[in-house]
Structure 1
Amino acid sequence: MYEALEITRDGSVATIWMNRPQRHNAFDAALIAELTQAFTQLGADDEIRIVILAGRGKSFSAGGDLNWMKAAGEAGFEANLADAGKLAQMFRILAEMPKPTIARVHGAALGGGMGLASACDICVASTQASFITSEVRLGIIPAVISPYVLRAIGMRQASRYFLTAERIDAAKALQIGLVHEVAEAETLDAAIDDLISALLKGGPQAQAAAKRLIRNVAGKMMGDALAQETAHNIAALRMNAEAREGLSAFLDKRAPAWINRTGSDDV
């Protein structure tokens, strides 16, 4: 059903492979539409617990296809805005997917590719990976990806890399918080498997709630309102069936039901 994507499933883990290797998995309107559809469908699929985003070929993603961006810039403002809106929607759907997401970055993640890596919950990179917000070299800015990159590296680092468009190697990406873990190319998938094993032990509803919690709490100052909001969150969550099962399983010294639901979750 997809022309620019390949989706593979291993039990409750789905991997979305961007499959435009000849274009270094650069965005165009078709790829943006397919990614939006894939993120939406997998986010709503109760059989899927974890989504991995990866790229075929030499690069993870080279960001926006230059011909597509040039054509968008030459269109009228309304058409240009609509095009940008579809890109922004795609990133938001990825960032707010109600299940854990992992970026598997094996090569270059440029511009929007760095945005994809930042929009995922976890980023694991090969030692051969590199990142860059290259937009200023094209006379534009990393506007659509900025909320996700800023979330990953903070304002101070963004103040440097948004302006200089310097290439960030894997070691530097780890240092500034863009990447959670760096592995040699031959052990990249093993590192991701370790994360999958850890993630599958968590309750799926709790993980979705944890993602919402991060978005809701980040940037807020501590005070009575925030304390009340967080108390409400935990009180409501403790009453649902998943929480009751998790607490009972811990006290009974057994695995909770969500681990034994499928063979792939038996970790």
Structure 2
Amino acid sequence: MAFQTIKVSIEDHIASITLARDPVNILNIQMMKEISEALEIVISRNDLNALVIRAEGKAFSAGVAIEDHVGELAEPMIHAFHKLFHQLSKVPIPTIGVVEGAAIGGGCEVASFCDITVASRSSKFGQPEINLGLFPPVSAAYFPWLMGYNLTMELLLTGRTLKAEEAKEYGLINTVVSEEEVESYVHELLESMKAKSREALKLTKKAVRTSMAVSITGAISEVEQIYLQELMKTNDAKEGLSSFMEKREPVWSHA
């Protein structure tokens, strides 16, 4: 398939999806749909040992396009975004996120949703949605499983940005390496995956995900309704998005 915002390759039993929307891989609806289509291809294959998700450019991803949060685009955007995660959760093989640069907002969610996430030392992670009067639905549903209640609340309620080492300490990612070591580390990790039984990899992942998947899937669906039916109808959500696009400080009405 021809993609405009991502690159997809399959070689030596390893699939790769590379975010390629210059300059900072802002996730718009088209890109979300293309990632979901690429994941469908990966899911349909029986000859793969791992999937790598990484990015070109200055950042892994600076998040979801603000303009896609507004008006009639909000609901199709959130459905397209969440479909991406439902598809990612269906990938039967290990998924490896490789982060170089910033992974912010939706980019942070995509990176951390991978089974194993490797980051360069200069990378940054954060969920700044609270600064726009919003919250990140996937993080609200998934991060308590990943790093516990308290650290999730700290990250989502403050909107602070974490350095790579902090993200590792939080449990948001697995490994931090120097910029020069990223390629060799990922290569060794993939070589390890290729040396394993494909069925054992799949069944190990299935066993772990089975203990979590029902709760996470249900939680994302419920959180989605809070986001669409409650949060996005508030004046503050509208003001947060407007102020961002107008490059000014928000004025909260707290309603």
TM range (shorter): 0.7 to 0.9
Aligned with 1:81 (options 63, 75, 79): 75
Aligned with 2:115 (options 121, 126, 137): 121
Q: Is the 8 A contact 1:63 1:112 kept in 2?
A: yes
Gap regions ≥5 residues in structure 1: 221-267
- Tell me which residue corresponds to 1:147: 141
- Tell me which residue corresponds to 1:11: 12
Q: Is the 8 A contact 1:25 1:59 kept in 2?
A: yes
Instruction: Give me the whole-angstrom Cα distance separating, in 1, the residues matched to 2:159 and 2:102.
Output: 14
Q: Is the 8 A contact 2:95 2:115 kept in 1?
A: yes
Alpha-carbon offset, residue 152 of structure 1: 2.3
Higher relative contact order (CA 8 A, sep 6+): 2
Which stretch of the first structure deviates more once superposed, 153-162 or 202-211? 202-211
Q: Is the 8 A contact 2:48 2:198 kept in 1?
A: no
TM-score normalised to structure 2 length:
0.79
Return the letter of the residue paired with 2:9. T
Where 1:168 maps in the other structure, the secondary structure is strand
Alpha-carbon offset, residue 120 of structure 1: 0.5
Q: Is the 8 A contact 2:68 2:74 kept in 1?
A: no
Return the letter of the residue paired with 1:16. I
Q: Is the 8 A contact 1:87 1:144 kept in 2?
A: no
Gap regions ≥5 residues in structure 2: 215-255
Q: Is the 8 A contact 2:147 2:172 kept in 1?
A: yes
Return the letter of the residue paired with 2:47. E
Where 2:125 maps in the other structure, the secondary structure is strand
Are 1:101 and 2:95 matched, yes or no? yes
Instruction: Give me the whole-angstrom Cα distance separating, in 1, the residues matched to 2:61 and 2:144.
Output: 19
Where 2:196 maps in the other structure, the secondary structure is coil
Q: Which has the larger radius of gyration?
A: 1
- Tell me which residue corresponds to 2:57: 57
Return the letter of the residue paired with 1:84. I
Which stretch of the first structure deviates more once superposed, 58-67 or 193-202? 193-202
Return the letter of the residue paired with 1:3. Q
Structure 1, residues 63-110: CA drift from partner, whole Å, max 9, x if none? 1011222xxx312xxx63343122111112112310011000001000
CA pair 143-124 structure 1, distance change in 2 beyond 3 A: same
- Tell me which residue corresponds to 2:34: 34
Alignment identity in percent?
25
Instruction: Give me the whole-angstrom Cα distance separating, in 2, the residues matched to 1:218 and 1:26.
Output: 29
Instruction: Give me the whole-angstrom Cα distance separating, in 1, the residues matched to 2:140 and 2:183.
Output: 28
Q: Is the 8 A contact 1:115 1:146 kept in 2?
A: no
Alpha-carbon offset, residue 219 of structure 1: 10
Instruction: Give me the whole-angstrom Cα distance separating, in 2, the residues matched to 1:33 and 1:218.
Output: 25
Alpha-carbon offset, residue 218 of structure 1: 4.4
CA pair 202-148 structure 1, distance change in 2 beyond 3 A: farther
Alpha-carbon offset, residue 151 of structure 1: 2.9
Q: Is the 8 A contact 2:8 2:16 kept in 1?
A: yes
1:1-267 aligned at under 5 Å gives the runs: 1-22=2-23, 24-69=24-69, 73-75=70-72, 80-218=74-212
Instruction: Give me the whole-angstrom Cα distance separating, in 1, the residues matched to 2:27 and 2:213.
Output: 31
Q: Is the 8 A contact 1:104 1:124 kept in 2?
A: yes
TM-score normalised to structure 1 length:
0.75
Q: Is the 8 A contact 2:63 2:108 kept in 1?
A: yes
- Tell me which residue corresponds to 2:220: none
Q: Is the 8 A contact 1:50 1:99 kept in 2?
A: yes
